[in-house]
């Protein structure tokens, strides 16, 4: 099975995901960045992909660095480098016969460039929907385990439950 790497164009997600776009418009860009990293960190646990989140220096000049946070690799490009050019170069380097790279961006030019290198492309809205779907699956699984656990800790055995059901049915006939 190929190693899966998801490269995320961070500001593209912030501009296209409703909650993050609202934070950005309200001049809370730092909160939007933090929320994006939190969301992607949770998704990382469900996606079985290495996730690289790329911010360009457009809003935070002179910051160029790379670090691990919340099981994500977070990259800030050089002041003169766009996230698009960094992502295109990185996708070309990482895409191999043993590694499948997917780039999350709604920038069409960037999508075509990474696609021509063999990487897959995923628009911002599609990643947003994938994350929502994954969260629903986690909640459904948690609820199912919770329900199974509650039944497992019932003080009654199967025969007692059957006898109680029969008694309930008998009593409801005589109401």
User: Element (H or E) spanning 66, and its range?
Assistant: strand 65-69
The CATH number that domain 3-130 falls under is 3.40.50
Stretch among 41-45, 108-112, 150-154 having the lowest mean pLDDT = 150-154
Asked if residue 115 lies in contact with residue 95, where contact means CB atoms within 8 angstroms, the answer is no
Over residues 73-98, the pLDDT tens digits come to 999 888 778 888 889 889 989 988 89
Q: What is the average pLDDT score of the chain?
A: 84
Average pLDDT over residues 101-115: 79
Taking the C-alpha atoms of residue 161 and residue 164, their distance in angstroms, rounded to an integer, is: 5
Q: What is the pTM of this model?
A: 0.76
**What is the pLDDT averaged over residues 147-171?**
77
In this structure, which long-range contacts are made by residues 137-144, counting pairs with CB atoms below 8 Å and at least 24 apart in sequence? Answer: 137/46, 138/46
pLDDT value of residue 71: 86
Range 32-55 average pLDDT: 92
pLDDT at 174: 66
Contact (Cβ atoms closer than 8 angstroms) between residue 36 and residue 53 = yes
113-138 confidence digits (pLDDT tens) = 777 677 888 999 999 999 999 889 88
Tell me the C-alpha distance between 57 and 27, whole Å.
17
Residue 109 pLDDT greater than 80, yes or no: no
Per-residue pLDDT at 12 exceeds 60: yes
Distance (Å, rounded) from C-alpha 123 to C-alpha 159?
55
């Amino acid at each position: 099975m190929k190693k899966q790497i998801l490269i995320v164009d961070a500001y593209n997600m912030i501009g296209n995901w409703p909650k993050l776009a609202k934070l950005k418009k309200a001049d809370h860009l730092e909160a939007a960045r933090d929320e994006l990293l939190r969301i992607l960190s949770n998704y990382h646990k469900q996606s079985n992909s290495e996730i690289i989140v790329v911010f360009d220096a457009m809003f935070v000049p002179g910051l160029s660095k790379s670090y691990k946070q919340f099981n994500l690799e977070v990259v800030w490009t050089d002041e003169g480098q766009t996230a698009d050019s960094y992502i295109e170069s990185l996708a070309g380097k990482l895409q191999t016969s043993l590694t499948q790279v997917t780039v999350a961006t709604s920038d069409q030019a960037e999508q075509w460039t990474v696609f021509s290198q063999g990487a897959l492309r995923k628009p911002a809205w599609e990643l947003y929907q994938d994350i929502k779907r994954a969260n629903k699956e986690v909640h459904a699984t948690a609820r199912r385990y919770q329900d199974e656990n509650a039944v497992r800790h019932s003080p009654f055995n199967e025969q007692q439950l059957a006898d109680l059901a029969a008694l309930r049915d008998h009593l409801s006939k005589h109401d």
